[in-house]
Amino acid sequence: MSSSGNNLMRWFRGADSSQAKPQEGAKGAPRTRRTCIGLGEFMRNLSGSGEQKLCVLDLGPTSPTNITLLTELGVRVFNEDVLNESRDPSYAVVQEDGSTQIDPARFFAENMDYPAGQFDAILFWDIADYLPETLVKPLVERLQTMLKPKGHLLAFFHTKDAGAESLYSRHHIVQKDILELEPIQGFKLQRIFNNRHIENLFKDFASRKFFLGRDNIREVLMVR
Amino acid sequence: MWKPRPEDIKPMSTNPSQPGQPAQPVPPPVAAATPSAPVPHKETPKASDPHRADVGHIGKSVQIKGELTGSEDLYLDGSIEGTVDLRDHSLIIGPNGKIKAAISARDLVVHGRVEGNITATGRVELRKSCTLIGDVSTQRIVIEDGAFFKGAIDIKENTQNVEARKPLASAASAGMSSGSGSGSSSGAVSYSASSDSQGSFLDGK
């Protein structure tokens, strides 16, 4: 997609034109807990899988809590901090107008290199809200191919009411339906997806189930 | 008949009272002079102590390219490219360690940077300063908050556990059929206790 096209998409989604800058507000911010219906359903699907060893991909920052909980369920856990990787300047290319953008080809040459149908479930968290524009669509397409048929993907999206200053958080699964959110500095909300955007972005998935939380987070459980 | 306990006799020997005289108040014994004073215990090596005599040490200025094998515990703070194979021994990768290698060990503690797959038969510890890019196959894993990990974690059940459970299970079923289930349950308890003992320099944790 061209740079003007990206700008148009960004404007259409109501995003701030500025790219991610380190955010100071998160410093020392306390962890908060939230009950997640979508996560509860996601975990129930994992637990009810019988004796088959499932593969789960966690795309958030490394969480010892998640790894412990998932491995105790007998799950093989994969972890890849996509958002952190996307900050690597070596993936950036200079555009005609002098701005820089992440080159998806370069990025995916070194990241998210998994065979098709590898995973039974993917924890996508709220990464799509913070990811550089050029990576969002290719990443979702890649996730769709990496999931097994009937595999689940859990994603969170901030609603417009959540505000532009919504902090990016590390998600710790403390119980099967309770998350602990640990704010992380350095990432800024890039865009707000509404329901139509989400449906278009994940159009290749067989079903999408929406849960709207009181804290202006929209949980979406996708099934391939 | 009442017999004085040994600890009741010992202070008297340092301050003997005359027979037939009323007992004098005994001053509190000086710790160093009394035989019951605690003997300064021999300090046991801690897991984080890499300078033990029985632990090999590779310093931070050492660079190795090739195959590293050994039959002793190892503290590795240098750079390695190739393979590291310690089989039944423990490996600590120090904060300056930069490893680009497939690692095979019993127990592994990572403080530094590792790029490569890890196979451990015991326990893997990823400390907060560590960066691990690779897959981990182990029985137990400990990840500190702040550790960076990119890869897969596969927790493998101890094959000895599985093998040991079979006769226990059969004994339990036999016991159940004969009406006595208590023997099998006590066997299971003693088994799980023994399976946790590792005899490693990681055990101090």
For residue B36, tell me if it sits in a domain: no
For residue B6, tell me if it sits in a domain: no
Q: Which segments in chain A show pLDDT lower than 50? A: 1-2, 8-26
Predicted local confidence at residue B200, as pLDDT: 39
Predicted local confidence at residue A130, as pLDDT: 93
Q: Do A79 and B153 touch (CB under 8 A)?
A: yes
Dihedral sign from CA coordinates of B97, B100, B106, B107? positive
Least confident of A49-58, B72-81, B98-107: A49-58
- A76 lies within 8 A of chain B by CB: yes
pLDDT of B50 > 60? The answer is no
Are A176 and A65 a contacting pair, CB within 8 Å? no
Shortest distance between the Cα of B162 and any Cα of chain A, in A, equals: 15
For residue B62, tell me if it sits in a domain: yes
For residue B186, tell me if it sits in a domain: no
Are A128 and A190 a contacting pair, CB within 8 Å? no
Count helices and strands (H / E) in chain B.
Answer: 3, 14
What does the DSSP 8-state code read for residue A42? H
Which range marks the domain in which residue B59 is found? 55-155
CA distance A152 to A56: 9
Least confident of A144-148, A194-198, B111-115, B169-173: B169-173
Residue among A135, A193, A199 at smallest CA distance from A6:
A135
CA distance B64 to A212: 55
- Residue B4 tokens, joined: 């004085």
Q: Do A76 and B150 touch (CB under 8 A)?
A: no
What's the predicted TM-score (pTM) here? Answer: 0.71
CA distance A41 to B124: 31
For residue B63, tell me if it sits in a domain: yes
- B155 lies within 8 A of chain A by CB: yes
Predicted local confidence at residue A176, as pLDDT: 86
CA distance B179 to B161: 26
Banded pLDDT at B51 (limits 50, 70, 90): low
Q: Do B154 and A76 touch (CB under 8 A)?
A: yes
Q: Do A71 and B141 touch (CB under 8 A)?
A: yes
Banded pLDDT at B31 (limits 50, 70, 90): very low
- What ipTM did this prediction achieve? 0.79
- A67 lies within 8 A of chain B by CB: yes
End-to-end CA distance of chain B: 47
Dihedral sign from CA coordinates of B82, B86, B87, B93? negative
Q: From chain A, pick out residues whose CB is under 8 angstroms from the CB of B127.
A: none
Domains of chain A and any CATH numbers: 3-223 (3.40.50.150)
CA distance B196 to B58: 29
Residues forming beta bridges with residue B91, ordered by sequence position: B74, B108
Predicted local confidence at residue A185, as pLDDT: 85
pLDDT digits (tens, 9 = 90+) for B132-161: 999 999 999 999 988 999 999 999 876 655
Banded pLDDT at B10 (limits 50, 70, 90): very low
- The mean pLDDT of B77-104, rounded to a whole number, is 94
Tell me how many domains chain B contains: 1
- B67 lies within 8 A of chain A by CB: no
Q: From chain A, pick out residues whose CB is under 8 angstroms from the CB of B141.
A: 67, 71
Shortest distance between the Cα of B68 and any Cα of chain A, in A, equals: 28
Q: Do A77 and B152 touch (CB under 8 A)?
A: yes
- A207 lies within 8 A of chain B by CB: no
pLDDT of B192 > 50? The answer is no
Predicted local confidence at residue A95, as pLDDT: 85
Residue among A42, A56, A46 at smallest CA distance from A147:
A56
Sequence-separated (6 or more) residues with CB below 8 Å from residue A218: A156, A157, A158, A159, A195, A198, A210, A211, A212
Banded pLDDT at B102 (limits 50, 70, 90): very high
- A68 lies within 8 A of chain B by CB: yes
Sequence-separated (6 or more) residues with CB below 8 Å from residue B18: none
For residue B43, tell me if it sits in a domain: no
What phi and psi values does residue A166 have, to the nearest 5 degrees?
-60, 130
Rounded to whole angstroms, what are the CA distances from B32 to A152, A153, B5, B28?
69, 68, 21, 12
For residue B116, tell me if it sits in a domain: yes
Helix orientation angle between B182-196 and B159-178, rounded to the nearest 10 degrees: 170
Question: Which among A71, A79, A81 has CB closest to B155?
Answer: A71
pLDDT of B131 > 90? The answer is yes
What phi and psi values does residue B8 have, to the nearest 5 degrees?
-75, -30
Are A79 and A85 a contacting pair, CB within 8 Å? no
Q: Do A76 and B153 touch (CB under 8 A)?
A: yes
Predicted local confidence at residue B152, as pLDDT: 95
Banded pLDDT at B97 (limits 50, 70, 90): very high
For residue B9, tell me if it sits in a domain: no
Question: Which among A55, A67, A76 has CB closest to B143?
Answer: A67
Max mean pLDDT among A139-148, B21-30, B159-168 falls in A139-148
pLDDT of B42 > 90? The answer is no
pLDDT of B81 > 70? The answer is yes
Q: Do A62 and B151 touch (CB under 8 A)?
A: no
CB atoms within 10 A of CB A136: 22
Banded pLDDT at B163 (limits 50, 70, 90): low
Q: From chain A, pick out residues whose CB is under 8 angstroms from the CB of B153.
A: 67, 71, 76-79
Q: Do A62 and B144 touch (CB under 8 A)?
A: no
CA distance B113 to A186: 23
Dihedral sign from CA coordinates of B192, B197, B202, B205? positive
Q: Do A67 and B150 touch (CB under 8 A)?
A: no
pLDDT of B164 > 70? The answer is no
* B133 compared with B21, residue with greater pLDDT: B133
Banded pLDDT at B15 (limits 50, 70, 90): very low
Q: From chain A, pick out residues whose CB is under 8 angstroms from the CB of B150.
A: 79-81
pLDDT of B20 > 70? The answer is no
